[in-house]
């Protein structure tokens, strides 16, 4: 199956189209102008300060007239491409009709809730709507606290859950901002390429899950409300755990009476080839967070949770100034309908497998590449100084990122990792061209660094 809609059709011979070496003069001028006032740019923007002007389907255009293949989806967001007609028209309708009415009900909100609970796994039939990933993670923590009466949380090394205090305390980001919130603990993720215990899968017997049991006993005060996890790590480097890992964590939670919160902000809405990533392992969490691709660019997120909590959350305040506004509900409902109507999940898996095979061939040809991995259209590669020692090579990753961007591939760096998340509507010929340009950037970097 391949996506073939007039609005998003691309002639592979014409993209990317680099007219001025990027970042071009107008991009640099805007970077200087905005830089006087803006602070806290991502590594993406710091390493390559291009200024975008427009996008259509899988193509981005900058202010200097260059056209890029979008291999990031605005960091896992525009799953259905830039300016998808149905999503755009749905949002525009409500910008003209009703933009905000706090948490009062609207028909579009009711329709979204009905559509959402039809596709969520298990009994996750209760919905809270928010406007940002960090907020919906905070809301998930509040749900867990209220239904358990407990206050501690366990998350995993290199998980990314947000930038507010509770969400950030589940990540590594507190190194810059200070101590984590009380009751926040972190343990090793199921990262077999960089096993914290220096063991080898599958001989390890998933010791990381055994250690999680020990951590609950030895680190916490027996007040654990939930384990919070990304099913596949994004910021951590597109890290995919072994197939048994998440099911075993589910089993451990059930055994110990701890809730399982799965953060699908990054992985939901078909990103990994399933509507929700947990479906790859037939795991039903107690609470799940949704975002990014849920609105295809419009700021809308959600918390969905189990029916078994009905009647236990009467005192919770789940309203917000912007969450669930009519424009947001229109965007999210359109995304759900597009996912169902256009039937692109199978294509997303096929496209991801096609890209992964090309990345595996690149790994064979280039000693700079230590590992490649992917599930659906969530992929990545890890660059190393030496394949035996696996010493991270962040400098090389930055170089490859910039050189591929100069060639017309917009994508995502993360320390020694390079991440790829094309829109799910991308065709194989366009994706193949992007990967070929990335390989050119790797080869040039190896030559400059004297790597053979």
The tens place of each residue's pLDDT in the chain, 452 residues long, gives 567 788 888 999 999 999 999 999 999 999 999 999 998 899 999 999 999 999 999 999 999 999 999 999 999 999 999 999 999 999 999 999 999 999 999 999 999 999 999 999 999 999 999 999 999 999 999 999 999 999 999 999 999 999 888 989 899 776 667 788 888 999 999 999 999 999 999 999 999 999 999 999 999 999 999 999 999 999 999 999 999 999 999 999 999 999 999 999 999 999 999 999 999 999 999 999 999 999 999 999 999 999 999 988 887 778 889 999 999 999 999 999 999 998 889 999 999 999 999 999 999 999 999 999 999 999 999 999 999 999 999 999 999 999 999 999 999 999 999 999 999 999 999 999 999 999 999 999 999 999 98
> Could you give the 3-state DSSP secondary structure of residue 86?
helix
pLDDT reported for residue 174: 61
pLDDT reported for residue 236: 93
pLDDT reported for residue 238: 97
Distance CA 3, CA 285 (A): 32
Residue 129 tokens read as: 């709507």
pLDDT reported for residue 273: 97
Nearest one of 324, 408, 389, 406 to 107, comparing CA atoms: 324
Distance CA 87, CA 99 (A): 16
What is the Cα 63 distance to its own chain's centre?
Answer: 27
pLDDT reported for residue 1: 57
Angstrom distances, CA of residue 321 to CA of 100, 104, 163, 242, 329: 8, 11, 19, 40, 14
Nearest one of 372, 368, 373, 414 to 391, comparing CA atoms: 368
Reported pTM = 0.96
CATH numbers and ranges of domains, the chain: 18-84+347-368+393-400+414-449 (3.90.1150.10), 85-342 (3.40.640.10)
pLDDT reported for residue 343: 84
pLDDT reported for residue 175: 66
């Amino acid at each position: 199956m391949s996506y073939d809609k007039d609005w998003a059709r691309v002639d592979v011979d014409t993209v990317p189209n680099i007219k001025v070496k990027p970042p071009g003069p107008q991009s640099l001028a805007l970077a200087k102008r905005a830089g006087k006032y803006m602070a806290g740019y991502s590594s993406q923007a710091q390493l390559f300060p291009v200024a975008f002007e427009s996008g259509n389907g899988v193509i981005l255009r900058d202010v200097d007239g260059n056209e890029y293949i979008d291999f990031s989806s605005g960091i896992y967001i525009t799953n259905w491409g830039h300016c998808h007609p149905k999503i755009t028209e749905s949002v525009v309708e409500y910008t003209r009709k009703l933009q905000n009415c706090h948490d009062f009900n609207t028909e579009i909100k009711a329709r979204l809730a009905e559509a959402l609970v039809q596709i969520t796994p298990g009994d996750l039939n209760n919905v809270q709507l928010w406007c940002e990933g960090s907020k919906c993670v905070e809301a998930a923590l509040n749900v867990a606290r209220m239904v358990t009466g407990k206050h501690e949380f366990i998350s995993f090394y290199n998980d990314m859950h947000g930038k507010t205090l509770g969400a950030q305390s589940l990540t590594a980001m507190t190194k810059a901002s200070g101590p984590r919130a009380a009751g926040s603990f972190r343990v090793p993720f199921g990262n077999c390429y960089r096993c914290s215990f220096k063991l080898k899968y599958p001989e390890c017997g998933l010791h990381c899950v055994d250690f999680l049991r020990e951590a609950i006993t030895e680190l916490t005060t027996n007040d654990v409300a939930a384990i919070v996890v990304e099913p596949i790590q994004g910021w951590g480097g597109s890290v995919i755990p072994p197939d048994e890992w998440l099911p075993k964590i589910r089993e451990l939670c059930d055994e110990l009476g701890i809730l399982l919160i799965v953060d699908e902000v990054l992985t939901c809405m078909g990103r990994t080839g399933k509507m929700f990533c947990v479906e790859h392992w037939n795991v039903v969490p107690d609470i799940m967070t949704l975002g990014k691709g849920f609105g295809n660019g419009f700021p809308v997120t959600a918390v969905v949770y189990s029916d078994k909590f009905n009647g236990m959350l009467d005192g919770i305040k789940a309203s917000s100034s912007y969450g669930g506004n009519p424009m947001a509900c229109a965007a999210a409902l359109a995304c759900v309908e597009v996912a169902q109507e256009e039937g692109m999940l199978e294509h997303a898996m096929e496209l991801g497998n096609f890209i992964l095979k090309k990345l595996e061939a690149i790994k064979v040809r280039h000693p700079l590449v230590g590992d490649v991995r992917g599930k659906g259209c969530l992929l990545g590669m890890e660059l190393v100084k030496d394949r035996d020692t696996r010493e991270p090579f962040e400098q090389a990753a930055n170089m490859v990122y910039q050189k591929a961007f100069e060639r017309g591939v917009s994508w995502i760096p993360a320390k020694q990792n390079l991440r790829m998340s094309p829109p799910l509507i991308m065709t194989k010929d366009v994706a193949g061209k992007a990967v070929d340009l990335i390989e050119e950037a790797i080869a040039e970097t190896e030559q400059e660094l004297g790597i053979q």
